Amino acid sequence: MQGTHALDFTFSLTGKVAAVLGVHNQESVAWAVARNLSQAGANVVVGYRKSCTSQIFSLLRETPTIRARSCNPSNPIELFDFFQQFEDTGLDILVHAADNSSTFFPSYFLKKVVQFAVSFLKPRATILALLPGNEASQVTNADTESMVRHLAIQFQDSSIRINGMSTHINQPKRAIQQISRCALFLSSDASQSLNGQIMRHHAHEWPIDFLPYSISHYKNQTKTVS
């Protein structure tokens, strides 16, 4: 065969409705993910803490296709109000960036967010949990990864998928575009066969590394423990 053929990694999200929680500023991985989802055609709404209002409004001026609404995962009223806006449209994609600034484990907030969102998730909707990649987060990340697999089992009889992505890199700025592209893949129909998986992203290595966990394996281990 003459010539080479590049693989087509273009993912279309035209007509999809997406919510991205955990945007703080321009350096947020969640913001890069939101921009990529929007560029792929999705209607994106970002959730942010009120303390980040000025930074968020600055970002929205640069990217007017993205909308925003305050949403503190520790505030049930804000969670309720945030997801109510999807009552008419439904929600195809939910991205939740872990926040280690609270005394609660990120897995607690992931579960709470999903509980408030589930009524608005469309058939074949996908949930993505973004985990921070520093040594201080190893314990909390392990707990959140376990929650991802637990929720995947919980939703296994429905068509809702949930996966996680851990950005284990020392300098996120140098790989933030690759990270957001991986998140775009996990948010698209191209990853519809993946559920309960954790992807790890490394700065100067092969970008995707699956953990050797499957839903059936984790479910069997859960049964053994109980």
Structural domain includes residue 156: yes
Structural domain includes residue 164: yes
Domain count, the chain: 1
pLDDT the model gives residue 81: 97
Structural domain includes residue 103: yes
The answer on pLDDT for 1 being more than 50 is no
pLDDT range class, residue 179, cuts 50, 70, 90: confident
Structural domain includes residue 196: yes
Structural domain includes residue 113: yes
Structural domain includes residue 7: no
Other beta carbons within 10 angstroms of residue 9's beta carbon come to 10
Q: What is the DSSP string of 3-51?
A: S----------TT-EEEEE---STT-HHHHHHHHHHHTT-EEEEEE-GG
Structural domain includes residue 25: yes
The answer on pLDDT for 176 being more than 70 is yes
CATH number at residue 184: 3.40.50.720
Which pLDDT tens digit goes with each residue over 120-171?
A: 999 999 999 998 765 556 667 788 889 999 999 999 888 899 999 886 555 4
Residue 36 φ/ψ, nearest 5 degrees: -65, -40
Structural domain includes residue 12: no
Q: Structural domain of residue 98, as residue ranges? A: 17-225
